A and B are shown apart, each in its own frame.
Chain A
Amino acid sequence: MQVMLNGESTDLADGATIDDLVNQLDLAHRRIAVEVNRDIVPRDCFAGRALRDGDVIEIVHFIGGG
Chain B
Amino acid sequence: MQQDVFELGGATYTSRLIVGTGKYRDFEETRAAIDASGAEIVTVAVRRVNITSRDSDNLLDHLDLDRITILPNTAGCYTAEDAVRTARLAREAGVGSLVKLEVIGDEKTLFPDVPATIEAARVLVGEGFVVLPYLNDDPIAAKRLADLGCAAVMPLAAPIGSGLGIRNPYNLKIILEQSEVPVIVDAGVGTASDVARAMELGCEAVLLNTAIAGAKDPIAMAEAMKLGVRAGRLAYLAGRIPKKLYATASSPIEGLLD
Task: Name A residues whose Cβ lies closer than 8 Å to a Cβ of B.
Answer: 5-8, 10, 25-27, 30-35, 38, 40, 42-43, 58-66
Given B30, B72, B210, which contacts A62 in the complex, CB threshold below 8 Å? B72
Q: Per-residue 0/1 for B82-102: is the Cβ within 8 Å of any A Cβ (1 yes, 0 no)?
A: 000100111011110000000
- Point out the residues of chain B lying under 8 angstroms from A27, CB to CB: 49
- Point out the residues of chain A lying under 8 angstroms from B24, CB to CB: 64
- Point out the residues of chain B lying under 8 angstroms from A31, CB to CB: 58, 60, 93-95
Q: Per-residue 0/1 for B71-84: is the Cβ within 8 Å of any A Cβ (1 yes, 0 no)?
A: 01101000000000
Name the CB-closest residue of A to B24. A64
Q: Are A32 and B43 in contact (CB under 8 A)?
A: no
- Point out the residues of chain B lying under 8 angstroms from A40, CB to CB: 88-89, 92
Given B52, B85, B93, B187, which contacts A61 in the complex, CB threshold below 8 Å? B93
22 contacts between A and B (CB under 8 A): A6-B51, A7-B48, A30-B58, A32-B93, A33-B89, A33-B90, A33-B93, A38-B85, A40-B89, A40-B92, A58-B89, A60-B89, A62-B44, A62-B45, A62-B70, A62-B90, A62-B95, A64-B30, A64-B45, A65-B44, A66-B21, A66-B187
Q: Are A65 and B75 in contact (CB under 8 A)?
A: yes
A32–B160 CA distance with the chains assembled, in angstroms: 27
